[in-house]
């Protein structure tokens, strides 16, 4: 324990800390019992107590009522995350699931094409040419749609808001999208594999 006394009396610092209640509990108790027994120290406490009382009476001052508005007028608010381009994209975990699903879907489509191709009497070269034609059309359409979506980033904000308010909406929308795309793929495969050259051309 620190030496809080000098010539049998509490030091000025000890009296100050006692008045401010800023010493350890056991030290405050020791100061208190000394003050109760020592007239000289008790007399010394009056000024410190008066000071602490005066300090405790001080209060904060309110600024003007328009203070907050004046501040906010000059603040550059960050662009909300929801409004930033690309922020409407699903979370990283969801993107991984989507990528895995897309890979599975692609494998299924390619595998399906190969399987169907082996079951029909159709020249492989013509089948691939036909598929490439459909694929390029489909890719072009997709690029146009994605570009439009990126430019309409406000749609992303709406989407994010819907995601927040409707649980599971992203999953449902993803499944719907996969179903539509799978349907389109199956329909494409059907069109390609059931293609028959016209008789006129065949005999021409």
- Rounded to a whole number of angstroms, the minimum distance from the CB of residue 196 to another protein is 59
Dihedral (CA of 30, 34, 40, 42) sign: positive
Query: Shortest approach of another protein to residue 127 CB, angstroms?
Result: 52
- Residue 1 or 200: the one with the smaller Cβ distance to another protein is 1
d(CA 106, CA 161): 31
Residue of 183, 180, 191 whose CA lies nearest to 133: 191
CA–CA separation, 20 vs 14, rounded Å? 10
Token reading at 93:
């975990």
3-state secondary structure 159-201: HHHHHHHCCCHHHHHHHHHHHHHHHHHHHHHHHHHCCCCCHHH
Q: Where are the alpha helices (DSSP H) in 21-152?
A: 25-37, 39-56, 67-73, 92-119, 124-151
Q: How many residues sit close enough to another protein to count as binding (CB under 8 A)? A: 41
Pattern of binders to another protein over 49-88, x per CB under 8 A?
-xx-xxxxxxxxxxxx--xx-xxx-xxxxxxxx-x-----
Which CB sits closer to another protein, 36 or 64?
64
* Complex with another protein: residue 39 or 59, whichever CB lies closer: 59
From the CB of 1, what's the least distance to another protein, in Å?
12
Binding mask 17-46 for another protein (x = CB under 8 A): x--xxxxx--x------------------x
Residue ranges that bind another protein, judged by CB under 8 A? 12-13, 16-17, 20-24, 27, 46-48, 50-51, 53-64, 67-68, 70-72, 74-81, 83
């Amino acid at each position: 324990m620190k030496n809080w006394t000098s010539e049998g009396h509490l030091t000025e610092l000890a009296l100050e800390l006692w008045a401010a209640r800023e010493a350890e509990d056991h030290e405050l108790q020791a100061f208190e019992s000394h003050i109760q027994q020592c007239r000289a120290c008790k007399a010394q406490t009056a000024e410190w107590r008066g000071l602490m009382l005066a300090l405790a009476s001080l209060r904060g001052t309110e600024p003007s009522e328009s203070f907050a508005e004046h501040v906010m007028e000059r603040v550059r608010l960050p662009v909300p995350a929801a409004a930033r381009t690309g922020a409407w994209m699903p979370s990283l975990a969801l993107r991984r699931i989507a990528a895995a699903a897309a890979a599975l879907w692609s494998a299924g489509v390619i595998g399906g094409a190969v399987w169907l191709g082996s079951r029909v009497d159709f020249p492989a070269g013509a089948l691939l040419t036909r598929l490439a034609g459909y694929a390029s059309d489909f890719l072009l359409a997709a690029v146009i749609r994605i570009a439009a979506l990126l430019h309409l980033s406000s749609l992303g904000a709406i989407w994010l808001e819907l995601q927040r308010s409707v649980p599971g909406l992203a999953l449902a929308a993803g499944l719907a999208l996969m179903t539509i795309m799978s349907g389109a793929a199956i329909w494409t495969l059907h069109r390609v594999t059931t293609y028959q050259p016209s008789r006129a051309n065949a005999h021409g």
